[in-house]
Structure 1
Amino acid sequence: MTDYRCAVCGARSPVESLAWCCPRCHGPWDLDFTAGPVPRNSCAGRAGSLWRYEEALPLAATGATGGGPGTVSLGEGRTPLVPLTAAVTAKLDFLMPTLSFKDRGAVMLAELARRLRPRRVIADSSGNAGTSIAAYCARAGLDCTVYLPEATSPKKIEQIAAHGARPELVPGDREAAARRAHAAADEDGSFYASHSHNPYFLHGTKTYVYEVWEDLDGRLPDVLVLPAGNGTLLLGAHLAVAELHAHGLIARRPAVIAVQAAAVAPLAAAFRAGREDITPSAAAPTLAEGIAVPRPPRARQILSAVRASGGTFLTVTDDQIRAAQLDLAARGLFVEPTGAACWAAVGAHGLGDRTAVVPLCGAGAKTGLAPGA
């Protein structure tokens, strides 16, 4: 295993230490890891999971390309691309085993924890990350506790418990749940399966772009439209684009359009003001609960990634999200409100004549229709 490296101050720590953030400055970890080139023409004969891209993953399965015996997997990934317009294609990541894109990162964290053998796994979530971590910990035979805001969807709480994890409801908002998880993660023998702090999660979400690249015959669209709460899918996509470009597997990098809910948009505000970091916003109610993050730990990295791509930030209102969810349902695609945010941004702001891929990140079965829809 490679070492962790602090994204803020550069301090290092062995992965085996179970330190969930930099002890010096409390910044999030990155990995000292260099991905190898993925041979696209060889992918067809590999396992139908994200392990098919093992050359690009920091936890490659020993001795078996595409996942070996004992490697944690639920067959995640390989989600289809479905056209929405002549230029815009949706990637149906709500068809993952736990019905959200978070499975891409959760499988990496569960495999890492399986190798480290902690006493217990800790997670915090507004719902989808928690259900993913719970499912993959069940697959790996790991003890798991998930801290959740008390307003979390009952269906998501039920799903977490069904997988054998312990859902702990915390009075207050998403940040209150995170604080409880941080305290528990500091206890000896605890592995913090944090989708926002642990970089292995990002190396799982980057397979989203590897799949797009494979399915579009070695190309990427002009634009990747991506949600931006904690930025885990966006930063994973940024990693993948950089790796593909470095290995000469794509000729140009797509622009990234990052989407935030208008009610909680600290990243969009910082981008428009030309700042390198956010001014934390207050928590506020929004239909897009999954991206309503007032203080994303990797804010500086998210802003840098969007700027480096030549992209921008867009915000969407709850009315626009509600309309987008209904529009997708009318096309046969039922997603949760957060999962409709990127399509709402395309409908509200347009993309010109550029081609784009939009993720549909979470299934509508988890939440039902948005109120008023």
Structure 2
Amino acid sequence: MEFVCNSCDHHHRGADAPWRCPRCGGAFDLRLEVDLRRQAIETGPPNLWRYAGALPPVPPEARVSLGEPVTPLVESTWAGVPVRFKLDYLFPTGSYKDRGNAVFVSVLRAAGVSAVVEDSSGNAGASLAAYCARAGIRCTIYAPADTSPAKLVQIRAYGAEVVAVPGSRAETARAVQVAAERTYYASHNWNPIFLHAMKTLAFEMCEQLGWRAPAAVVMPCGYGSVVLGAYLGFQDLVSAGLIDRLPRLVAVQAAACAPLYAAYRAEGRAPACSGHTLAEGIACAEPVRPERILEAIRASGGEVIAVSEDEILDGLRALAAQGLYVEPTSAVVAAAMSRLAGEGRLEPGTVAVLTGSGLKATEKLVRVLTTGTQVRF
């Protein structure tokens, strides 16, 4: 397993790599030997470790698990178009972040890491805290002070310390980097181990579809781990001959904080953003790998869509009407599909990834959906 800086090509071998390149401050990519064979996968365990041949290497005895399932791929329709929903909010801690942290924390445990810090708008922190509790690793989470209370309670319940940071998500990221000077920074945004664990999202989809690629995949996008992880996974599947093409990748941002959308439209570098959004999980002003995200989207023939707060609420209600109770961050994919359907561009066979449970944001949902004493869905 080799870490390679995507800016200056500096190399580091082993899981003890610094959180960013010590030479230029750039983000590391990961070079892995990938062995994806259909027979080995189909006879493997009924969880993400069935794809161990394409994941960062972890001895079986060091694996940290909370019983992660292969998440359901549910058939549905949207504006009359056949689509599927990938229910990644059904992981043990209620979000897709378990997909990355099950592997990431396993690598850290195997490497003998005893304490970590991380910054999070809630879901990543809750997930990391849970897996660290399971692994016996001390965990401190830096979170924006206005994070949904349910997420902060969940983090503390796992025994992690919470440091509430006044201000924006970007200010939280800057605060944790000071702590990272003395404690291992288990950043799901900077560390490529998390990204490569996210490849399992693509692997599962294609296996569930009989080793076919979906027409398109619609995903929430803040720092971009879902989009980049899926892209890396689909690339691995094409290279292994298990699928014959990349699906079109559609990244969705909230219009109130949409730096990647601005960069996609202008074909320039992602600018900082301002503004508050219900989709707190993707309120990211300074993505770590903006160029890589846009390269992945363009290579797949995909696009970036920005949706308004009203569209997010409409998407939330429409998903709930189908029995899918998600947090507002996940609802951006419904808003984007409605936009695509209205333009006649929603492709049959599209998969929409639902990343976080509505139970994560109860207080926020009551506030924005209540009129008088009635919750209006």
The TM-score, its normalising length taken from structure 2, stands at: 0.92
**What's the RMSD between the two structures over aligned residues?**
1.5
- Alpha-carbon offset, residue 229 of structure 1: 0.5
Give the Cα separation in 2 of the matches to 1:357 and 1:370: 28
Moved more, 113-122 or 138-147: 113-122
Identify if the C-alpha distance between structure 1 residues 44 and 242 changes in structure 2 by more than 3 Å, giving closer, same or farther.
closer
Give the conservation status (yes or no) of the 8 Å contact 1:256–1:311: yes
The TM-score, its normalising length taken from structure 1, stands at: 0.93
Give the Cα separation in 2 of the matches to 1:269 and 1:241: 26
Give the Cα separation in 2 of the matches to 1:301 and 1:127: 24
Identify if the C-alpha distance between structure 1 residues 370 and 22 changes in structure 2 by more than 3 Å, giving closer, same or farther.
farther
Query: In the comparison of the two structures, how many residue pairs are matched?
Result: 361
Q: Which SS does the other structure have where 2:368 is aligned?
A: coil
Matches within 5 A, 1:66-215: 68-85=60-77, 86-187=81-182, 190-215=183-208
- Alpha-carbon offset, residue 15 of structure 1: 3.2
- Give the AA of the match of 2:357: A
Identify if the C-alpha distance between structure 1 residues 310 and 370 changes in structure 2 by more than 3 Å, giving closer, same or farther.
farther
- Alpha-carbon offset, residue 77 of structure 1: 3.7
> Corresponding residue for 1:56?
54
The answer on 1:232 being equivalent to 2:233 is no
- Give the AA of the match of 1:372: V
Structure 2 unmatched runs, 5+: 370-377
- Alpha-carbon offset, residue 245 of structure 1: 0.5
The answer on 1:372 being equivalent to 2:368 is yes
Give the conservation status (yes or no) of the 8 Å contact 2:15–2:108: no
> Corresponding residue for 1:13?
12
Q: Which SS does the other structure have where 2:284 is aligned?
A: coil
- Alpha-carbon offset, residue 16 of structure 1: 4.5
For residue 340 of structure 2, the aligned residue among 349, 357, 365 is 349
Give the conservation status (yes or no) of the 8 Å contact 1:337–1:370: no
Give the conservation status (yes or no) of the 8 Å contact 2:63–2:103: no
Structure 1 unmatched runs, 5+: 62-67
Give the conservation status (yes or no) of the 8 Å contact 1:106–1:136: yes
- Give the AA of the match of 1:213: C
Identify if the C-alpha distance between structure 1 residues 173 and 339 changes in structure 2 by more than 3 Å, giving closer, same or farther.
same
The answer on 1:335 being equivalent to 2:326 is yes
- Give the AA of the match of 2:350: A
Give the Cα separation in 2 of the matches to 1:235 and 1:134: 23
- Alpha-carbon offset, residue 178 of structure 1: 1.0
- Alpha-carbon offset, residue 60 of structure 1: 4.2
Give the Cα separation in 1 of the matches to 2:19 and 2:184: 8
Give the conservation status (yes or no) of the 8 Å contact 1:51–1:60: no
- Alpha-carbon offset, residue 354 of structure 1: 3.5
- Alpha-carbon offset, residue 168 of structure 1: 1.0
